[in-house]
A and B are shown apart, each in its own frame.
Chain A
């Protein structure tokens, strides 16, 4: 069965420091991988996706993620965090033979001034 794990409920980082939000997945074959961000009482905003090709994917607002097939991970990173990055981040996976997105449980990112 397909699954996504976000091992950290919350990540705290000081403004200006690099941030990492972890995601690992379990899916057969080569998956599509996504990161979304959710602000309070809002829907999800797409950040980036991995389909194929270069393992380092660059997305919106300076975020990037690295696909690591051997570790089945797709960690979200940003070199320098902003207070405005504080939000709930979801990793999601979709198998190549399905149109269903499977979401992780989310990681709350808190960036302190």
Chain B
């Protein structure tokens, strides 16, 4: 149980285009999903927290107009990188937490590698 998937697993796009990454909880309902960014040989940095049916909460320094997050259902959250640039190239990882509240650990997706040319 507690499986989180991401799609696509990798994507290459041209500078200026937008890319959508999906995060799904496959066997549980996720009231909260988290989006992280990981640069090579670095730790995960939390970008934003999204709760189903409400606006995402972005961490300081993360542009909410550039990284659009939608959490439309209890099993799906999407991250759209708008007008992507090479500096947006990174490994994006989502995680999901279930209905039972904060004591539940976060379950992580396999990640999406974005390369912007």
Q: Contact residues of A with B, CB < 8 Å? A: 32, 34, 36, 41-46, 49, 51, 90, 94, 96, 99-101, 103-106
Q: Verify A46–B107 contact, CB threshold 8 A.
A: yes
From B43, B49, B105, B107, contact of A100 by CB (8 A) = B49
Q: How far is the CA of A99 from the CA of B34 in the complex (A)?
A: 10
Q: Contact residues of B with A, CB < 8 Å? A: 4, 6, 32, 34, 41-44, 46, 49, 91, 93, 95, 97, 102-103, 105-111, 113
* List of B residues within 8 angstroms of A49 by Cβ: 105
Q: How far is the CA of A103 from the CA of B38 in the complex (A)?
A: 11
Q: How far is the CA of A42 from the CA of B108 in the complex (A)?
A: 10
The total of interchain contacts (Cβ-Cβ below 8 angstroms) comes to 46
Q: How far is the CA of A23 from the CA of B107 in the complex (A)?
A: 21
Known: A51-B103, A90-B43. A43 touches B49 (CB 8 A): no
Known: A99-B49, A99-B102, A103-B43. A41 touches B109 (CB 8 A): no
* List of A residues within 8 angstroms of B49 by Cβ: 99-100
Q: Verify B43–A104 contact, CB threshold 8 A.
A: yes
Q: How far is the CA of A17 from the CA of B78 in the complex (A)?
A: 43
Q: Verify B105–A46 contact, CB threshold 8 A.
A: yes
From A36, A41, A46, A103, contact of B111 by CB (8 A) = A41
Q: With both chains docked as a complex, state the minimum distance between the C-beta of A14 and any C-beta of chain B, in angstroms.
A: 24
* List of A residues within 8 angstroms of B4 by Cβ: 43
Q: How far is the CA of A77 from the CA of B60 in the complex (A)?
A: 34
Known: A42-B111, A46-B105. A103 touches B97 (CB 8 A): no
Known: A41-B113, A43-B6, A51-B103. A105 touches B43 (CB 8 A): yes
Q: Verify B105–A34 contact, CB threshold 8 A.
A: yes
Q: How far is the CA of A45 from the CA of B110 in the complex (A)?
A: 9
Q: How far is the CA of A45 from the CA of B103 in the complex (A)?
A: 17
